[in-house]
Amino acid sequence: MCPHCLPAPLRRALLLTVGVAVLLAGAAYAWSARDATATTNAAAELPPDVCIVRPGAPFPGAVHAYDPASGRPMLAARPVPAHARCAVCGMFPARHPQWAAQLIADNGDAWFFDSPVDLLLFLADSARYTRGIAIGAVAARYVSDHAGGGWVAADDAWFVHGAAVSGPMRGPDLPAFASRAAAEALAAAQGGRVLRFAELDGALVAGLRQTYPAH
């Protein structure tokens, strides 16, 4: 039936119903748009996982004191806190579990790194990344097993230098392995040579530093 053929009272009721429906639809759209904007804004507020100017002390999140309540031995490898920042480049090591590394000083302080490269750079010149603040004697250092996760003492690990794989910074890096066989498998597939931690000498570290000029 044509709306104009309806009696005036019914026509007014119909128009009122349509108007209310339009208003409700508009309000629903505005609400959903607001929620989408809020979600987008929240995502935008998350810290970016990109290399930034080296933090240096007292950059928040770079050094983590030992917590006796953890029940973990002071020099044992620790889970990487979600908001820990790499002491060298400022990235978030927890986002790169296959590459992460850590150093524990004799006072229990832990420093986390997004890859073995940054661990080596830190060891070579810690004063540069802490603005001269002494970190104490290095008591333990660990790297992630690139093959299956988990921590392995750096001195016991096998590293592949020169492999065609990209690390967290999307450049050459030093994947580390708990077993020599796994390291040799990667070298066979992606190139590079297998080295022990003691073989990662000053010349190699200098070359890695050139690869990461922002450091």
Can you name the residues that pair with 143 across neighbouring β-strands? 101, 152
Query: For 65-71, which contacts have Cβ atoms below 8 Å and span 24 or more sequence positions?
Result: 65/108, 65/109, 65/110, 66/104, 66/107, 66/108, 66/109, 66/110
Please, which residues bridge with residue 48 across strands?
none
> What are the extents of the domains in the chain?
3-45, 63-211
Give how far Cα 130 sits from Cα of 55, 88, 184, Å. 8, 9, 35
pLDDT at res. 63:
87
| pLDDT by residue, tens only, the chain of 215 residues | 444 554 555 555 544 554 444 444 444 334 333 333 333 343 334 455 555 545 444 456 688 999 999 999 999 999 999 989 998 888 899 999 999 999 999 999 999 999 998 999 899 888 888 887 888 899 999 999 999 889 999 999 999 999 988 888 777 789 999 999 999 999 999 999 999 999 998 788 777 766 554 55
Q: Specify burial of residue 116 (Cβ count, 10 A radius: 0-12, 13-18, 19+).
A: buried
* Residue 69 CB-half CA count within 13 A: 1
